[in-house]
Amino acid sequence: MAIPDTTPDVTPATRIAHTVASLLGARRTSSTLAMLAPPYAPNSPEEAFAVQHEMTRRLGARIGGWKVGYAPGVRLTHAPIYQDACVASGASVHLPYADAPAIEGEVAFVLSRDVPPRATPYSDEEIADAVDEVCAAIEVGAPRLRNFMEAPIEHKIADNMGNGALVRGSGTRAWRAIDLAALRVRVEIDGRVVTDLVGGNSAGNPFDALVALANAPHRREPLQAGQTVISGTCTGLYAAHAGNQAKVVFDGLGEARVTLV
């Protein structure tokens, strides 16, 4: 005799609401979640991006920046970074809920004008004209999910791609003269060099990640003047802990520093 299917019939709206409630609870209690469990977890990118949008609305949070992960023809992910998680180089970042924070070196683009979603794709030149400055940056990864690295991509998107903080460093307005795809970058943790390489961004040229974000099909919120867009790791992830001092240096561009507390 066939065993009846007792799996509840869960709608996309229910999955989105359940995931938002779980992640809001984790944020408000400075805690982490073991996992987002089916059948109440998002099961498509569309649902995961809807979680991001509803989280932003429910938090009433101002968006200070964006993170992008872009591999041409393979993957495009993006997530808002809230204003209170955007800090200047030299700041101390407090992450009470982070079990295993990570440090990444990234190229950041500071916008000089709004770039709202639109049906017609933006050209490279239009996006270049919207860039005020290009800077060195550190992303501090601090996901709300304890199994983040093993989690499905939809769970990672829902968790704002694990962002904990964006640290904006020094840079230049004369960025068009720089080969962003061939920058040498070093990461130091407590004065010890943990990586030293050239290139490393999955987009090839980090600017291409910015263009992909501007034209992303699931982006609802506008990119706004003054926001900072980090364009994907150029260094890989490096484990860190409270008390560490991290520095990222892009030769010919700038550097950023952060202390974890």
User: Any idea where the domains of the chain sit in the sequence?
Assistant: 63-260
Structure tokens given for 70? 């872009």
CA distances from 19 to 41, 58, 101 (A): 6, 13, 22
Cα separation of 106 and 81, whole Å?
14
**Rg, the chain, Cα only:** 19
Proportion of the chain above pLDDT 70, given as a percent: 95
For 188-208, how does the pLDDT look when each residue is reduced to its tens digit (9 = 90+)?
Answer: 999 999 999 999 999 999 999
Cα separation of 177 and 76, whole Å?
26
Cα separation of 82 and 19, whole Å?
19
Cα separation of 186 and 26, whole Å?
33
Cβ atoms of 65 and 228 within 8 Å: the answer is yes
Is the domain spanning 63-260 CATH 3.40.50.970? The answer is: no
Structure tokens given for 34? 């073991």
The SS3 call for residue 247 is: strand
Place of tokens 């709004």: 114
pLDDT band at 37 (very low <50, low <70, confident <90, very high): confident
Q: Mean pLDDT across the stretch 163-167?
A: 96
| Closest CA relative to residue 152, chosen from 5, 32, 47, 239 | 47
